[in-house]
Structure 1
Amino acid sequence: MREFTIGKNDAGQRLDRFIAKNLPLLPPALLQKYIRLKRVKVNGKGSKRDVRLAAGDVLQLYINDEFFDKPSEENMFLTVFQPRLEIIYEDENLLLVDKRPGMVVHADETEKVNTLINHIQAYLYQKKEWNPKQEHAFAPALCNRIDRNTGGIVIAAKNAEALRTINEKIKSHELEKSYLCVTVGRPRPAEGRVEGFLLKDEAKKQVSFYRRPIPGGKSAITLYQTLETRGELSLVECRLLTGRTHQIRVSMAELGCPLLGDGKYGNGTVNKRYHETRQALYSYRLGFAFSTDATPLNYLRGRVFTVEKVPFREKYFPRL
């Protein structure tokens, strides 16, 4: 237990804001919980979070000692932000997380802190499943990536063996990933295969589609099936046989049916009409189709995980 006596310079502050300022390592949600549980007392009594402190008030904080430390590189995962994760599945080896559109998976030139991997590492640190002080090299890591404006299932490995195994299974195509998307137009035929070669312009961060091999181009194969059409929009399921940058976006545009909201390969006029600024694309289903040994993850063989609530499906193709 620690005590604080409020001086005249701190008088008038809200209780929760005073504590947050003085204990920067204490996650906001945990602070509110401690106040509700009366582990924070003012003059010996439990108090509401918005009470205004007066000079001479004595705070008694029944809070773990580590939250009184000063922020440092070693303890940054205690706080900075409260982890926000939509967990689909978790065990001792991995996490399956539903990444919502708008969040980057790793730090880039636009975002350094609010990244998916930081949220995952903070979550595991706070659960005491990972401590960077006790690890020489390994840190929880993502096994696959999704574009900032695309949503869906991301796999995070909790240990080096799980990371190695999942990476091997991705390379040998023993994971089945299915995507939902909304296209502008009706794909012809309604079900089929788009096969070609993709060449990425690194400067423009844009990909071009070619029907024939081209120097530097990578083969790309996408299977698709139209699930429903309403007006000019179609709900389409895609499955990747290869995993290339912007593969579905470029392939559907090649069919003449670009994704709704796609600013690079789509129809700007239609996007504005629907007020969509992000591509309607979601990695909504993941299957562990292991055909070879997957130790230590063999228990996942044959399991399939699905995101139930895909925002644009609910919006444009609500199920009865």
Structure 2
Amino acid sequence: MQQIEIDENEAGQRLDKFLHKFMPVAPSSFFYKMLRKKNITLNGKKAEGNEKLIIGDVLCLYLSDETIHNFKAGSVRTDEYEEAYKKLKDIQVVYEDRHIVIVYKPSGILTQKAAAEDLSVNEWLIGYLLKKGSINKMQLSTYKPSVCNRLDRNTFGMVICAKSLAGSQKISSLLKNREIRKFYRMFVKGQVVKEELLEGYLVKDESNNKSHLLKGDEGMKGSPVKTRYYPVSRFRDRTLVEAELITGKPHQLRIHMAGIGHPVLGDYKYGDRTFNDRYKRQYQINSQLLCACRLEFPKLEGTFEGLSRRVIEIPLPGEFQMLMKEQ
């Protein structure tokens, strides 16, 4: 017999949905048979399967360990999480509370895996929480913590991650409604002299995995994008710029800045190869100098009051610091 007490990450869903997550190999007919025969009970009573679980509910599975193991076979493995936590040592926790973790991702690390063999921030997060004891292997069968927003592999900066289901739902809602303000700093080619609001439409070309910025009626079928930027410091042939990502589409900042003649330094996809090569030779710049450096949260109440109007900012990476000292 196995007893499970429902916590906040499992509450709010139907009993049958929870059972499918817990033993994903088992067919629905098995669950309903076990519920009917009272081999699976909820709070000591017969259940139908359509009950909404709440925190503190007790689920009893009067099944053999072998049966549970077989129906869970292959559903939860922690190897890759532990490996990611050991290997991706440069990821750092910037902020953490009961529901979320905000981490710093260096350039060169994926936010989420692109192939089965990849290790990303997503796997690192679960490895970190397992190491801390914030989650255990059994809990991973019904809820997996995950990243809430993405950064390109070669972008530096902060990634918001959800530890709990409540955290995931809240951050997803805030991001969807654009209530979290996201600021980036970047080195761009040339002299930027004034603040400007950029608008347009992004259209992706699947043949070469690049997006294009269009304006006016021609772009109406694309995704609308909006970026506000202003110069912070000007140097001989480059400017340190801060930008607010008002919308959040892949490659948006890089495309917008390239579109006005100020491509991001180190960006070979949309930028200036000659300009980039010169910095690569002289300063060993091997990544695009774009960093998600500041998050500003709105007024929040209740469970998430600790994040209310909180501003979270990180120092710029070493590559930025080096170029800020060079004219």
TM-score normalized with structure 2 length? 0.70
Q: Which residue of 1 aligns with 2:286?
A: 277
Q: Which residue of 2 aligns with 1:296?
A: 303
Distance 1:227 1:217 in 2: 31
Q: Which of 79, 82, 93 is residue 76 of structure 1 equivalent to?
A: 79
Contact 1:177 1:240 in 2 (8 A): yes
- Encode CA deviations 1:248-306: one digit per residue, 9 max, x unaligned: 1010111111011111111101111100332110000011124xx55421221110111
> Does 2:236 align with 1:209?
no
Q: Which of 251, 259, 273 is residue 254 of structure 1 equivalent to?
A: 259
Q: Which of 313, 317, 321 is residue 314 of structure 1 equivalent to?
A: 321
Contact 1:180 1:235 in 2 (8 A): yes
Q: Which of 95, 98, 101 is residue 107 of structure 2 equivalent to?
A: 101
The runs of at least 4 aligned residues of structure 1 exceeding 6 Å deviation read none
The total of aligned residue pairs comes to 245
- Encode CA deviations 1:52-99: one digit per residue, 9 max, x unaligned: xxxxxxxxxxxxxxxxxxxx9534267335262311111111111000
> Does 2:244 align with 1:235?
no
Alignment of 1:1-320 (within 5 A): 74-76=77-79, 79-81=82-84, 82=86, 84=89, 85-109=91-115, 112-187=117-192, 189-213=193-217, 214-275=219-280, 276-290=285-299, 295-318=302-325
Q: CA deviation at 1:151?
A: 0.9
Q: CA deviation at 1:112?
A: 2.6
Q: CA deviation at 1:312?
A: 3.1
Distance 2:188 2:99 in 1: 36
Letter in 2 for 1:106: Q
Q: Which residue of 2 aligns with 1:12?
A: none
Letter in 2 for 1:76: D
What SS does the corresponding residue of 1:186 show, helix, strand or coil?
coil
Distance 1:315 1:185 in 2: 18
Letter in 2 for 1:287: E
Letter in 1 for 2:291: Y
What SS does the corresponding residue of 2:83 show, helix, strand or coil?
coil
Distance 1:271 1:78 in 2: 35
Higher mean C-alpha deviation, range 153-162 or range 135-144: 135-144
- Encode CA deviations 1:164-199: one digit per residue, 9 max, x unaligned: 000000111110110000001113x52111111111
What do you get for the CA RMSD once the two structures are aligned?
Answer: 2.1
- Encode CA deviations 1:33-65: one digit per residue, 9 max, x unaligned: xxxxxxxxxxxxxxxxxxxxxxxxxxxxxxxxx
Contact 1:77 1:126 in 2 (8 A): no
Task: Answer 1 or 2: which has greater helix percent.
Answer: 2
Letter in 2 for 1:299: G
Q: Which residue of 2 aligns with 1:56?
A: none
Q: CA deviation at 1:137?
A: 2.7
TM-score normalized with structure 1 length? 0.72
Q: CA deviation at 1:108?
A: 1.0
Q: CA deviation at 1:203?
A: 2.8
Distance 1:116 1:79 in 2: 12
Cα gap change, 1:201 to 1:124, in 2 (>3 Å) = same
Unaligned runs of 5+ in 2: 1-74
Letter in 1 for 2:204: K
Higher mean C-alpha deviation, range 217-226 or range 125-134: 125-134
Overall identity of the aligned pairs, in %? 30
Letter in 2 for 1:298: E
Distance 2:81 2:243 in 1: 39
Q: Which residue of 2 aligns with 1:33?
A: none
Cα gap change, 1:75 to 1:262, in 2 (>3 Å) = closer
Distance 2:78 2:257 in 1: 45
What SS does the corresponding residue of 1:274 show, helix, strand or coil?
helix
Letter in 1 for 2:100: L
Contact 2:230 2:242 in 1 (8 A): yes
Cα gap change, 1:220 to 1:75, in 2 (>3 Å) = closer
